[in-house]
Structure 1
Amino acid sequence: MEPKGNTLVAWMEDLYTAKVKGPVTTPMNEWKIIQKENDKETDIVTTTTFSNGVLIFQVEEPFLAGKRYEVRGPAKQSAHLLSGKAVRTPLFDKLYAYSGTDLGAVCTNNATHFAVWAPTAEEVMLMIYERDKTNPKDSIPMQRSERGVWRIKLTGCQHGLRYTYKVFVNGMWQESLDPYASSSTLNGQHSVVINWEKLDGKARNPVQPPPMGQKTDAIIYEVHVRDFTAHLYSGVRNKGKYLGWTEKGKTPEGYSTTIPYLKEMGVTHIQLLPVQDFGSVDELKNSPAYNWGYDPIHHFVPEGSYAVNKSQPESRIIELRQLIDTLHCEGLRVVLDVVFNHFYVRENASLEKLVPGYYFRYGNDDLPADGTGVGNDTASERTMMKKYIIDCLLHWLNNYEVDGFRFDLMGIHDVHTMKEAAFVLHQKKPSLLLYGEGWNMHTPLEENQKATIEQASQLGGKIGFFNDRFRDAVKGHLSGSNGFIHANQDCENLDNIAFYMRGSIDWSSRQREGIFVDASQSINYVECHDNYTLWDQLKIRDDFSKEERIKMHRLATTMVLTAQGIPFLHAGQEFFRTKFGVENSYNAPVWINQIDWERRELFHSNIEYVKGLIQIRKRFEAFRLQNAAEISKRFERLEAPKDTLFFKLHKNKKENNLYVILNASRQSAAVPLPDVGIYQVIVDDERASLIPLKAVHSNRIEVRPISAMILYK
């Protein structure tokens, strides 16, 4: 902390140490710290030293959070003692962390209880606002209670009440929204009280999808709320809105869109890009700018720009619930993409205003960490940040009945928080899918404490990871090595492909250590919202013909759907989605990001192919093995020509042997079949069907260039 001009700056280094910088004059023994309370001043017993231009106080008893302390010098210098680094010490958590379940505004028909954790605040006021008013109608002092929680009770049901908190902390007043509020006014101007009992009957048809046997039964389909229905030919009225998902759309040629289309596809889980209230879109505008939504401001609140009746704070809740209920009614599950690793603007975040310096991670230079690349990293290792994350996840699970969470930049979080989150959530809903981005970000946390893919074993089979090794091995890099689908692979690369196709688990017979404990941790994909779509990458990188691109793309998608693990499809991947060469389309115009339903008509045959692959994956349990021992027993790699991967999935008591041949070569591959008998072909270069396409009576099969073949016997 640095002073400005000739001013003093004083802060707590920890709860026993204070430091002062600025024009510190002698004699040193005349400097002191006083505690002020109700016009009473008390000298604090200290030991004073001076080193490298810094005056250092040591105290015998710890400083008390929420008390006003001043540093005073012999020449009438004075400075408010800031909470400083003390809030980031283990002792602070030990003394003040709160474990109760009543933070936020808890509203019943008889009373509304407000509770906010602000241990360093000296005063807290509840500010009450009337609708569309910028000046408060009333301000009510809150009472400090246990462990720095401030409380106030208002009689009667206060459903719909607009409010904020005003806190006096570190010598200044700050006005903050309630971080635990369930809704807000447009653009987060005010928090809004919600009585959930009043909403439970509104436009709801809650139905739980049928139970899921195991995690590897999941097939994830990632899509943005606005993208899904924004297109001219989506066939819905409420384009780009939550409610657009509840309409049964059709293209002008009569092809299904929206949820009927998803049901026809056969996917099981719909992963929504962020629906937590984000800051980059102006909710006041009827045609707002586009954004993916990875810039959260209120984690408990649904994004308002997707609501039709957005001026009503409860509507964003009701309409998102209708979207989820509609998916559930069709047997589809919902995964929310959650962003806890950072806030849109740290200085404006309610958590920062309420307890400055606590919720964010700092480096050795005392500056906010920036492993996320957006200016701040949250500190999940601190007790109340961990609590905030888990409380928020429970909020979405309990009030919206979602079926999973995808964690953005999960490598920013610590493994202990992720393990505890998984434990708590799976107690509530054992079938819940949890997975995230396990990239190793440059944040000040010990390597073995980061929830990265390298630490997957610490998380057991509870949390999955986007398998970027699989992705890169299949499709390659835009600038760099080729992927399997480009052919001309050496033996090592083919070995890697085989390893990833069997779930990236231990392969003892090949002396290969696994990335994951079991296959359910491997989220297998070749494209997602980030980076180029595969279609665009193939078009930009090399001079492939359209026919070659189609074959390579189809082969890559086939590998996603036949690998052990959990397959992940980017919306529109099945009809060769393009973003017109835009790599990072997070704020590109909606016409670049929207799902182009005309392509749904144009590439209908490829959609049918992908649908067939999904049906085959669901029909044959051998594609959905989860236990590492079972995979080791049943997955066998077989000899094959160059640029061809051939593996057998041994039968169980109920099913046939399966044979999967992946030919990336630009020539047909003559592949010897290992077993005597009649083989049934269910996938070739043009079709994928549970009804056999043909029977093979030979001990050799020809697989066409850049294609896959699946047989059983």
Structure 2
Amino acid sequence: MKQYEYSYSEKKLGYSLEGEDIIFRVWAPGRETVTLALYDDPLDIRRTLHYMIPDEDKVFEITLAKDEVTPYYTYILDHEFEVTDPYSTAVSLNSLRSAIVDMENLKPPGWEEHKLPGAIAETDAIIYEMHIKDFTGHKNSGAINKGKYLGVIEPGTTHLGFATGLDHLKELGITHVHLMPVYDFLTVDENPDRFNDDSNYNWGYDPEHYNVPEGSYSTDPSDPGCRIYELRQMIQKLHEEGFKVIVDVVYNHTYRGRNSNFNLLAPEYYYRTRTDGSYSDGSGCGNELATERPMVRKFILDSLMYWVNEFKIDGFRFDLMALIDIETVRKAVNILRLANESIFIYGEPWTAGMTTLSDKLTTTKGKQQGLSFAFLNDNFRNAIKGDSNGEGRGFVHGNCDMKRETEIGLAGSIFYDKGRIGFGIAPNETINYINSHDNLIIYDKMKKIFSQSDESFIVRLNKLAFGILFVSQGIPFIHSGNEFLRSKNMLDNTYNSSFNVNALNWSLKSRNNGFYNFFKDLIQLRKKHPEFRLKTGDKIRESLKFFDVEREGCNCIGYTIKLDNKNVEEGKYTLVAINGHHESCLITLSMVRNHIEKQYGLTEDHLCIIEILNMDGLVTSKNSRGELDPHGVEIPGYSIMVFSLAERCVK
């Protein structure tokens, strides 16, 4: 590998349609000969061979007339190995052979001119993570195209009178749909007759062809163009309904290692190795891509731009982003921002094992500062719920040790003060979440810790956890089904569990409709109140002030946010009170007045307290208790409450 470790070519790789010709190019520095093999049928053994010519950078190339080219192709290396094209944009069933398609002919009506959702500030986003098959695959989803791209966008689907699928997303009020892997992955059989096999399931974090949509989610996976057309249909409809679309990308490892098309084309180049020649395994999946090498970096940048240009993607979530070197991340952010100034970029700031990539090159917390991308915030997650899979407790379970870390999260994980130091400089650098697809889903985590408690208590803890999420500065992220208490049967890593475990059971929406309505209210609270969506670290430090709530124990958090309202009846401050203990705590008005005078330098002789949110949801004019006790308010155990502090109350 040494002789081509620093090789680089600017040439466009893959195939290109140029007038009446097709140009094939592949970088194969580890090979003496490369032969293009063309097939009429993906399972055919008959083929025509065309020898490719290398340039000085070992980019092998051939130009053929379109009428000479058949639909499927591979590359034969040194008359020994046959591989698909890493730059494939279409493949046959189960990724056996690369396919040639004309992307111009695979555009749904209105694709080019369809209206994209307008730009919004990142802290105004509410991200909803979903797996395509999970979302509508269950028998009660009401969808016709269950578990497919098209199933996601079917209008009017219901179960027991409650909206499912697309209409559910619209009703819920989220802004961004985060799609778990929709590129081509290997661990699911794409044969349609196996789609409903309970064991034929995977999340998809095992990439094979990065630029090809996954075929099992299409209605005809044997047609290489169908998956492209239907994924575009889905994205277009989501855009038209006002949702931005984020895709999960896994540029840290591949499913295959030494037998991958990458490694056979350029042995030992695409992967990091240890001194003994074995693969570095910071991914926990057997290998990791050497993103710092020029042609690996080029592939990643080309791939990202392909998804933006051909699928109008609005954002990317980088799996195990720490394994992608920081220089590649910087370059990716720069080219993506040039293409779309408002594109969303975030990732995981950790590895899944030891890596040979030096610490100074890993993309970890702190290195994102000022670089216009965000990290999934495991500090926030752990502060709220404790450890991911065990019985370790978080703030919502009464763990006093997590109070300060919870306050850091509430303040957007910035450097708030000397006692509350986060990893960011602005709230748009933190993706706050309770759980994602990984580990125990939060409902199961609550059940594990309080296994003897009744259901009403488990529901209350979930309300408290998500209440904290939606009043925290930063960007909230939820996993599909969190909104109606989804369970995964107490399994903590369901990436290849049965579909029966992973499918979104829509009957939970009716069963837990009270919780669902509370969850919707949390989203509306955040949307209606910009004080929970502050844009800068300076504004947070200036406006948000914590105060001590006196009680036995330490699990009450109180803070105010000073508002910019001019109308005294609209409220001058928002007060948030969070109780992570079974006993109630009291917040007196004198305590609040003293706090305001100390923190803001203002004297407030006349303040009335009006409920905005309690554990039943948003307080409306119909269920409002009006001005509360002028002496103060009691915060029940395991509760979150939000109040308006106004100079004069509306009668």
The TM-score with structure 1 as length reference comes to 0.83
Question: Contact 1:555/1:706 (CA < 8 Å) preserved in 2?
Answer: yes
User: Which of 686, 696, 703 is matched with 2:627 structurally?
Assistant: 696
Per the alignment, residue 241 of structure 2 pairs with 330
For 1:377-396, list aligned pairs within 5 A.
377-396=288-307
String of CA shifts for 1:139-174, please: whole Å, max 9, x gaps: 001111242211111123789721111122xxx622
Question: Contact 1:616/1:689 (CA < 8 Å) preserved in 2?
Answer: no
For 2:521 and 2:411, how far apart are their aligned partners in 1?
A: 21
How big is the shift at 1:136?
3.9
Look up the equivalent residue of 1:620 and give its one-letter code: H
Q: Could you say if the C-alpha distance between residues 198 and 283 of structure 1 is closer, same or farther in structure 2, counting changes exceeding 3 Å?
A: same
Per the alignment, residue 207 of structure 1 pairs with 114
For 2:8 and 2:140, how far apart are their aligned partners in 1?
A: 52
Secondary structure of 1:696's match? coil
Question: Contact 2:42/2:97 (CA < 8 Å) preserved in 1?
Answer: no
For 1:268-279, list aligned pairs within 5 A.
268-279=175-186
Per the alignment, residue 446 of structure 2 pairs with 538
For 1:637 and 1:573, how far apart are their aligned partners in 2?
A: 29
Matched, 1:358 2:269: yes
Per the alignment, residue 593 of structure 1 pairs with 502
Per the alignment, residue 615 of structure 2 pairs with 685
Look up the equivalent residue of 2:354 and give its one-letter code: H
Q: Which has the larger displacement, 541-550 or 349-358?
A: 541-550
Secondary structure of 2:135's match? helix
Q: Structure 2 stretches of 5 or more lacking a match?
A: 594-605, 647-651
For 2:532 and 2:470, how far apart are their aligned partners in 1?
A: 8
Secondary structure of 1:422's match? helix
For 1:57-456, list aligned pairs within 5 A.
84-87=1-4, 92-93=5-6, 96-100=7-11, 102-156=12-66, 161-168=71-78, 173-201=80-108, 204=111, 207-288=114-195, 289-440=200-351, 441-456=353-368
How big is the shift at 1:204?
4.3
Secondary structure of 2:542's match? helix
Secondary structure of 2:163's match? coil
Look up the equivalent residue of 2:168 and give its one-letter code: Y
Secondary structure of 1:286's match? helix
How big is the shift at 1:536?
0.7
Question: Contact 2:391/2:448 (CA < 8 Å) preserved in 1?
Answer: no
For 1:147 and 1:134, how far apart are their aligned partners in 2?
A: 33
For 1:430 and 1:465, how far apart are their aligned partners in 2?
A: 18
Secondary structure of 2:305's match? helix
How big is the shift at 1:653?
4.5
How big is the shift at 1:454?
4.8
Question: Contact 2:107/2:232 (CA < 8 Å) preserved in 1?
Answer: no
Q: Which has the larger displacement, 258-267 or 648-657?
A: 648-657
String of CA shifts for 1:53-95, please: whole Å, max 9, x gaps: xxxxxxxxxxxxxxxxxxxxxxxxxxxxxxx4444xxxx31xx
For 2:87 and 2:46, how far apart are their aligned partners in 1?
A: 20
Look up the equivalent residue of 1:118 and give its one-letter code: A
Per the alignment, residue 601 of structure 2 pairs with none
How big is the shift at 1:696?
2.5
How big is the shift at 1:513?
3.5
Per the alignment, residue 603 of structure 2 pairs with none
How big is the shift at 1:545?
2.1
Question: Contact 1:535/1:578 (CA < 8 Å) preserved in 2?
Answer: yes
For 1:559 and 1:526, how far apart are their aligned partners in 2?
A: 10
String of CA shifts for 1:452-473, please: whole Å, max 9, x gaps: 225333xx24121111111111
Matched, 1:665 2:581: yes
User: Which of 380, 392, 404 is matched with 1:495 structurally?
Assistant: 404
How big is the shift at 1:617?
0.8
By relative contact order (CA 8 Å, sep 6+), the higher-ranking structure is 2
Per the alignment, residue 58 of structure 1 pairs with none
Question: Contact 2:133/2:147 (CA < 8 Å) preserved in 1?
Answer: yes
For 1:190 and 1:214, how far apart are their aligned partners in 2?
A: 42
Question: Contact 2:315/2:345 (CA < 8 Å) preserved in 1?
Answer: yes
Per the alignment, residue 16 of structure 1 pairs with none
How big is the shift at 1:693?
3.2
Look up the equivalent residue of 1:710 and give its one-letter code: V
Look up the equivalent residue of 1:358 and give its one-letter code: Y
For 1:206 and 1:350, how far apart are their aligned partners in 2?
A: 37
Matched, 1:516 2:427: no
How big is the shift at 1:711?
1.2
Per the alignment, residue 10 of structure 1 pairs with none
For 1:159 and 1:305, how far apart are their aligned partners in 2?
A: 27
How big is the shift at 1:213?
2.8
User: Which of 379, 382, 387 is matched with 1:472 structurally?
Assistant: 382
How big is the shift at 1:569?
0.5
Look up the equivalent residue of 2:445 and give its one-letter code: Q
For 1:545 and 1:291, how far apart are their aligned partners in 2?
A: 33
How big is the shift at 1:244?
0.7
For 1:479 and 1:187, how far apart are their aligned partners in 2?
A: 37
Secondary structure of 2:462's match? helix
Look up the equivalent residue of 2:562 and give its one-letter code: H
RMSD: 1.9
Per the alignment, residue 650 of structure 1 pairs with 562
For 1:494 and 1:631, how far apart are their aligned partners in 2?
A: 19
For 2:108 and 2:432, how far apart are their aligned partners in 1?
A: 39
Question: Contact 1:360/1:368 (CA < 8 Å) preserved in 2?
Answer: yes
What is the percentage of aligned positions where both structures have the same residue?
A: 34
For 2:236 and 2:555, how far apart are their aligned partners in 1?
A: 46
Secondary structure of 1:277's match? strand
User: Which of 498, 515, 525 is matched with 1:616 structurally?
Assistant: 525
Q: Could you say if the C-alpha distance between residues 328 and 689 of structure 1 is closer, same or farther in structure 2, counting changes exceeding 3 Å?
A: farther
Question: Contact 2:610/2:627 (CA < 8 Å) preserved in 1?
Answer: yes
String of CA shifts for 1:503-558, please: whole Å, max 9, x gaps: 111123x3544311211111111111101111111112233321111111111011
Q: Structure 1 stretches of 5 or more lacking a match?
A: 1-83
Question: Contact 1:163/1:192 (CA < 8 Å) preserved in 2?
Answer: yes
Question: Contact 2:108/2:233 (CA < 8 Å) preserved in 1?
Answer: no
Secondary structure of 2:184's match? strand
Secondary structure of 2:258's match? helix
How big is the shift at 1:695?
2.5
Secondary structure of 2:209's match? strand
The TM-score with structure 2 as length reference comes to 0.91
String of CA shifts for 1:463-500, please: whole Å, max 9, x gaps: 2111111111101124364211111515xx32221111
For 2:371 and 2:475, how far apart are their aligned partners in 1?
A: 12
Question: Contact 2:42/2:96 (CA < 8 Å) preserved in 1?
Answer: no
For 1:343 and 1:402, how far apart are their aligned partners in 2?
A: 22
Greater C-alpha Rg: 1
For 1:412 and 1:134, how far apart are their aligned partners in 2?
A: 39
For 2:68 and 2:132, how far apart are their aligned partners in 1?
A: 31
